[in-house]
Amino acid sequence: MKITKLETVPVKLPLKKPISSAIHSIRSVGCVLVYLETDQGITGQSYVFTINASRLKVYDEMINSFAYLLEGRDARYVEAIWEDIWSEINP
């Protein structure tokens, strides 16, 4: 079961009521929806969440930069894939 495609969808979600502190106010949160497709038609779904939605583009770009570590890999070997991504982040 090989991973054939990584797709991300950044989503900015406005809050009904801002979360405020003495120094700033959070008016929205961000999520990057993550989809992995396999050659057997199975789609995996997950997300990355950030309170600081202004950094949403950075998260999206980071996740997409791992596509070469995912595509062509067997989706059942999650631990090995995770170790490769972790090594990429922390050389």
Cβ-contact 54, 79 below 8 angstroms: no
pTM: 0.83
What is the DSSP code (8-state) at residue 72? T
Structural tokens at position 81? 């894939």
Superfamily of domain 3-89, CATH level 4: Enolase-like, N-terminal domain (3.30.390.10)
Domain ranges of the chain: 3-89
Assign 91 to helix, strand or coil: coil
- pLDDT computed for residue 58 by the predictor: 93
Structural tokens at position 89? 């982040």
Structural tokens at position 77? 């070997």
pLDDT tens for each residue of the chain, 91 residues long: 999 999 999 999 999 999 898 998 888 999 999 999 999 999 999 999 988 788 899 999 999 999 999 999 999 999 999 999 999 999 8
- pLDDT computed for residue 52 by the predictor: 79
Structural tokens at position 30? 């961000």
